[in-house]
Amino acid sequence: MINLETPRKFRAFVNQAHQVAAEMLRPNSRRYDLAEHEYPKELDLLAAVVDGLGASGTGSGAGAGGVRRTDGEDDGKIKNGSNLSSVLSIMEMCWGDVGLLLSMPRQGLGNSAIASVASDEQLRRFDGVWAAMAITEPGCGSDSANIQTTARRDGDHYVIDGEKIFVTAGARCDAVVVWATVDKALGRAAIKSFVVPKDTPGLTVERVEHKLGIRSSDTATIRLTNCRVPAENLLGSPDVDADKGFAGVMQTFDNTRPLVAAMAVGCARASLEVTRDLLAEAGVEIDYDRPVHLQSSAAATFLQLEADWEAAYLLTLQAAWMADNGRPNSLQASMAKAKAGRTANDITLRCVELAGSIGYSEHELLEKWARDSKILDIFEGTQQIQQLIVARRLLGKTSAELK
């Protein structure tokens, strides 16, 4: 039975994450939003601390975790492990700043992919590597199975050719986890992921994007031309299993989607807390003991936003908890991502409205959080794709049957 209170063993760790967010991330939030593409040097120290916690075994899941099903042996005991602690800490960090969290060295989505599907030997070899995730292409956005980047086997190497866009941390990272097809004729079953070091000949960063939000995080376009990668850098099995299809590669999302949901939950909570204080200063009373229809419009709106936030929060915890306990969580991961992403968009925008001119100006961070939150409903699978995945799971339909 899942217990939705923060586990006692994680409380000190979560409090530390909140302290970091309050004393390091939020005070630098506006600075690096305005200084787009400037590297936040303060994060080097923070990343070193996180690495140290992980190496010492006291990090309670600090850093990029992974859904490794071998950890999920059913021994009848309920586990609160690294997935749950990761989402709890990410919520706190994104209460501080989403873009700065995404800029932390060695904590990227590529690191989560490695943690999820790499072999033990690969985990040792890529330890300490800052890895970005490269999936999206100019002609392939939400439909990851339509990837056109190719990986051709040539002796002990794969030769990768293609272009990837919107790669988070693509300019700053040490390596890129590139999704590519080893045989276009075999469709989605032939999609594999490869760890490509940034100094590999043939890999070039074409440009860094200017963006609406998360401006402290770099988002790059990467081109791969005759890029030779050792065969042992392929994550997972090199065999193409038509029966298993895309499932092996897609397992990565079972981990990363709850993490993105946690980002959305943290950002939305920050907006709610600031807005509650501003409403109180304006004399708006929010009474949890009175029916909504007997309260002011502003109070009623705020209560509705809090209820939506609570649902997103609980779904996110559920998806992470299931991963820790070895239970298939693809449905719950998509539900959490869909609910949290859309809820964060709604909450941050409505908070700007409730705060009036203060919310729209740079006097508070509300307008920044509204800009930052939009990406959380897009990357790692758009809102529409999450709803499609949920529908397939609930109706028992395949991707061919329900498009």
Mean pLDDT, all residues of the chain: 90
CA 390 vs CA 262, 323, 385: distances in Å: 19, 17, 9
Do residues 83 and 254 touch, judged by C-beta distance below 8 A?
no
- What is the band of 74 on the pLDDT scale with cuts at 50, 70, 90? low
Do residues 42 and 23 touch, judged by C-beta distance below 8 A?
no
- Would you state the pLDDT for residue 51? 73
**SS3 label, residue 195:** strand
CA atoms of 264 and 18, how far apart (whole Å): 15
- Would you state the pLDDT for residue 243? 60
Element (H, E) at 234: strand 234-235
Whether the predicted pLDDT of 70 surpasses 80: no
Across residues 310-325, what is the average pLDDT?
93
Give the gyration radius of the chain's Cα atoms: 21
Across residues 15-25, what is the average pLDDT?
94
Structural domains present in the chain: 8-125 (1.10.540), 131-235 (2.40.110.10), 247-395 (1.20.140.10)
Whether the predicted pLDDT of 247 surpasses 70: no
For the stretch 79-131, pLDDT in tens is 888 889 889 999 999 999 999 999 999 887 888 888 878 899 999 999 999 99
Do residues 274 and 281 touch, judged by C-beta distance below 8 A?
no
What is the greatest pairwise CA distance in the chain?
A: 73
- What is the band of 62 on the pLDDT scale with cuts at 50, 70, 90? very low
- What is the band of 72 on the pLDDT scale with cuts at 50, 70, 90? very low
CA atoms of 148 and 180, how far apart (whole Å): 7
> Could you give the percent of the chain with pLDDT greater than 70?
90
Q: Is 364 known to be catalytic?
A: no
Residue 61, by phi and psi: left (phi above 0), alpha (psi -120 to 50) or beta?
A: left
CA angle, residues 340, 346, 348, in degrees to nearest 5: 95
- Would you state the pLDDT for residue 304? 97
Mean pLDDT is lowest, of 246-250, 324-328, 387-391, for 246-250
Beta-sheet strands, E only, within 135-171: 150-154, 157-168
Catalytic residue among 23, 209, 380, 401: 380
For the stretch 156-205, pLDDT in tens is 999 999 999 999 999 999 999 999 999 988 888 899 999 999 999 999 99
The whole-model pTM stands at 0.92
Q: How many CB atoms lie within 10 A of CB 157?
A: 16
For the stretch 197-229, pLDDT in tens is 999 999 999 999 999 999 999 999 999 999 999
CA atoms of 269 and 305, how far apart (whole Å): 10
Task: Name the residue with higher pLDDT: 251 or 254.
Answer: 254
CA atoms of 363 and 134, how far apart (whole Å): 36
